[in-house]
Structure 1
């Protein structure tokens, strides 16, 4: 099996932080700030990748919209009833499909399915694929609408270091 890349590890860390934040009832963005402070004292905590922080900040800022999109694409489910890790994966992929301009939306879907394989139940990859397969159809329109609004918060642009 191929070794996971930097972006995959950044996404996995984002899912971990989203999961932890929900379990603790705190903001994932606050956890990123906290971890960045802790790493100065204890490097074993691990540095938070810039892409992880960008994704977490974006999901935190757009949480109501991201959750509304996911909820509207669930069939016979409520977002609150899903396993927490599946919620985190769906939030990550949905935000990334709509906002990370250097990531093809289908790559975001594929990465989410892989994360579901690694972190969740045996049924989760197929479930995540089904939900995101419906959401991905919106990505071109959402990206075009954001590009047409110059006052809107900028989407994630490629980083030279990646």
Structure 2
């Protein structure tokens, strides 16, 4: 979520930030290695960003996507990707983690808002997950 937020703030692709951190890690391991699930999720969000943003936008009620707090956009993008393209992550876990992030990092209204939007997106999860897994 941090990489997605930072990338939007800097106006660069999040995958570029991953590459930069990998270069720095070669000489400074305090940065943290860029591997594993976090990289997979960020790369997935970047690869499907237009579709993810469209899915989120279609499920907003009385809000415009660009007017959402940037933190909420990052949380919703990550949560949407996980709901639709990470079949090994339980839907309830995705919702719970997104609400925790919104509680810790965003406005007082954000946890309920994020939960509501992702709950509407979760309805799509079984069909999309089945289609992408080849079932």
Closer, same or farther: CA 72–104 of 1 in aligned 2, 3 Å: same
Describe the SS at the equivalent of 1:41.
coil
1:86 matched to 2:72? The reply is yes
Q: Mind listing any 5+ residue stretches in structure 2 that lack a counterpart?
A: none
TM-score norm. by structure 1 comes to 0.80
1:24 matched to 2:10? The reply is yes
Aligned counterpart for 1:102 among listed residues 82, 85, 88: 88
Deviation of 1:133 after TM superposition, in Å, equals 1.1
Describe the SS at the equivalent of 2:76.
helix
How far apart, in 1, do the equivalents of 2:108 and 2:133 lie? 38
How far apart, in 2, do the equivalents of 1:42 and 1:146 lie? 38
Q: Mind listing any 5+ residue stretches in structure 1 that lack a counterpart?
A: 1-14, 150-162
Q: Is the 8 A contact 2:83 2:125 kept in 1?
A: yes
Moved over 4 A (4+): none
Aligned counterpart for 1:133 among listed residues 108, 111, 119: 119
TM-score norm. by structure 2 comes to 0.96
Aligned residues: 135
Q: Is the 8 A contact 1:74 1:131 kept in 2?
A: yes
How far apart, in 1, do the equivalents of 2:92 and 2:57 lie? 20
